[in-house]
Structure 1
Amino acid sequence: MTSSSPTPSCGARTSVTEPRIPTIDLRPWFSGDPAARAEIAAAVDQALRTAGFLLVTGHGVDPDLRAEIREAAREFFRLPSGAKEPYAVKVGGRGWLGPGAEANGYAEGTETPPDLKESLSFAAEDPTGDPAVDAEWFAPNTWPAEAPKLKALVETYLGHMRALCDRLLELLGVALGESRTFFTGHTGHPTWGFNINWYPGTGTVGPPQPGQFRIGPHTDFGTVTVLDRQAGKGGLQVFTEEGGWENAPYDPAAFTINIGDLMARWTGDRWRSGRHRVLPPPADVPAEELISLVYFYECDPGTEVRGIDSHTYLRAQLDAITAG
């Protein structure tokens, strides 16, 4: 795995100096070839020890579906604030997170201004039968009537995300040197969150304050995050000890994958919870508008991860980034 061209057996694009964030073609993994799987697992292990991030292609999710979700969500985001206000919720709720609702830097203990974004937020809603658990983690989602196409599109996408995440967790189990069910044994009835993040230009949010980002520096909280992003100057940056803050690589065919705090803890910190941020609207392209689709996968309520209750931790972190 030292060639600058794609490796035929696994599709992990590497160079003489291994990239901190490689691109992995998942198709050889899905095909079940033992040699390809071993090579992919080794590449994944190295990337998660370094940056906590990967790009994956060959995932099978239709790009047209992602584009249609963006278009349907944009109809809602561009409504006047008064039309969106009935759907307003706090972080961790199901609905609209308006301007000033969230400051992700708080999770690191950094007092930043609120993030320059709005979100439509959805989460797991299939009840477990435990009233207390269902009330906190499996409440019904809210679908804005002003975006009538959104529900069917998002529910289709969520089905793809759940399946993809379990297959990624199988890969991660092997990459860690464990069984394919090491993590998926705890995702029989998991919680998850899905945010459609809208990053408008300065004409909507105004000029950024000092230290203000579209999303402030933080690590995610759960097991794996699947991000479908758009390229932009005010886009995603990833932090590593070796390189500091760097622009994340972009491939329109790829999902960006990072692991969160629970996964890092699960591995005894062998793997790094990927620290990242989203830059503010750029001064030279102030009207830049981006929409990201962000799926946060977690685990079953009650799962203990090296001495902590997973969902006590998740709730504390969601509360920590609540602004206002």
Structure 2
Amino acid sequence: MSVIATVDLSCWQQGGRMAEQVAADVDAGLQRAGFILVKGHGVDPALARGVRAAAREFFAQSDDVKAGYSVPVGGHGWIGPGAEANAYAEGTETPPDLKESFSLGAETATGNPDVDRVWFAPNVWPGEVPSLERLVTEYTAQMRRVADDLLALFAHALGLSANPFAAMASTPTWTMNINHYPPVSVVGEPEPGQFRIGPHTDFGTVTILDREPGAGGLQVYSDEAGWQDAPYDPDALTVNIGDLLEYWSGRRWPSGRHRVLPPQPHAPEEDLVSLIYFYEANHDAVVTPLDPPIGKVSGLAPVTTSEFIKERLDAITVG
């Protein structure tokens, strides 16, 4: 049995007794592993297929073409192989992750150049794949809607009388990574301890993942079951909470620890693309953790969103 619960967002939106059951299932599921599967989200699956197809067109370009869009970790553009080692965020030194990414984010500039350069830099769109901008813009709008719906549900699951996330995520920072996990014929045989993405937790409030199932796919960690293959449902989005929401909840809900396995010996030519939407909060939001009895830890100091997340981004950057 998987430790990851499946919930239906449409049942929550209908209200009444079913909504209360959804909230209870969310609380129990997030306490176990920081992960849930979410059905009834209202996102057209054809949209994700379109984004994935356009992304594959970009990743199929030559390295010289992609290098023209190259950015460091945290930037908006192409993040090439060897740039990240996510396990470093846990203090574990590993070889670089076996992936490449196309990354973009919020563009709601504040007018402060120091803030905007880090958190609201303009997105860069490859001219070689003109459909990518339109598709991703529509997709991220849908992800923002789902993220806000989830945070409203989470506030209710925590027993809060009002939703604090609404005001604190009015102009949030967010990032979308389109991750490409190439086959062994492209990346070579994995080194010892090397993953497509090393063991880590995400940094923000909620992460929404549309993924392809695979042998070298997503695994989730829980104290109850250790590492398990994440269940896959083609009608569901995979959702996990990040470090900021763990902290905000007074550590009631653990940030979902996960990894993506390297290409497996029985499927060396597997080639996967994942769509990952990382949601956060306003860059200057001051997050005050919930004390017991809602939270599990008392006396946690308030933190500012941008400082909290930037520290973690710096930790995973190779070099």
Please indicate, yes or no, whether the TM-score normalized by the shorter chain is above 0.5: yes
1:201/1:288 contact within 8 Å kept = yes
1:169/1:180 contact within 8 Å kept = no
Q: 1:7 maps to what in 2?
A: none
Q: 2:221 maps to what in 1?
A: 239
The 5 A counterparts of 1:49-88 are 49-88=31-70
1:218/1:277 contact within 8 Å kept = yes
The 5 A counterparts of 1:226-305 are 226-305=208-287
Measure the CA separation in 2 of the matches of 1:38 and 1:207: 48
Give the AA of the match of 2:19. R
Residue 25 (1) aligns with residue 8 (2) = yes
1:104/1:321 contact within 8 Å kept = yes
Measure the CA separation in 1 of the matches of 2:27 and 2:318: 35
Within the candidate set 302, 305, 308, 1:310 is matched to 305
With normalisation by structure 1, the TM-score equals: 0.92
What's the secondary structure of 1:87's corresponding residue? Answer: coil
Deviation sequence 1:44-79 (CA, Å, 0-9, x none):
000111100000011111111101111111011111
1:171/1:180 contact within 8 Å kept = no
Give the AA of the match of 1:26. L
Give the AA of the match of 1:299. A
Deviation sequence 1:243-262 (CA, Å, 0-9, x none):
11000000011100000000
How far has the Cα of 1:34 moved from its partner? Answer: 1.9
Where do 5+ consecutive residues of structure 2 fail to align? Answer: 289-301
Where do 5+ consecutive residues of structure 1 fail to align? Answer: 1-16
- Count the aligned residue pairs: 306
Give the AA of the match of 1:170. A
1:143/1:151 contact within 8 Å kept = yes
What's the secondary structure of 2:147's corresponding residue? Answer: helix
Within the candidate set 90, 109, 117, 2:91 is matched to 109
The 5 A counterparts of 1:214-229 are 214-229=196-211
Q: Percent of counterpart pairs with the same letter?
A: 56
What's the secondary structure of 1:152's corresponding residue? Answer: helix
2:3/2:225 contact within 8 Å kept = no
CA RMSD of aligned residues (A): 1.1
1:128/1:189 contact within 8 Å kept = no
With normalisation by structure 2, the TM-score equals: 0.94
What's the secondary structure of 2:172's corresponding residue? Answer: coil
Measure the CA separation in 1 of the matches of 2:112 and 2:281: 16
How far has the Cα of 1:180 moved from its partner? Answer: 4.5
Residue 94 (1) aligns with residue 100 (2) = no
Measure the CA separation in 1 of the matches of 2:45 and 2:141: 15
What's the secondary structure of 2:281's corresponding residue? Answer: coil
1:190/1:301 contact within 8 Å kept = yes
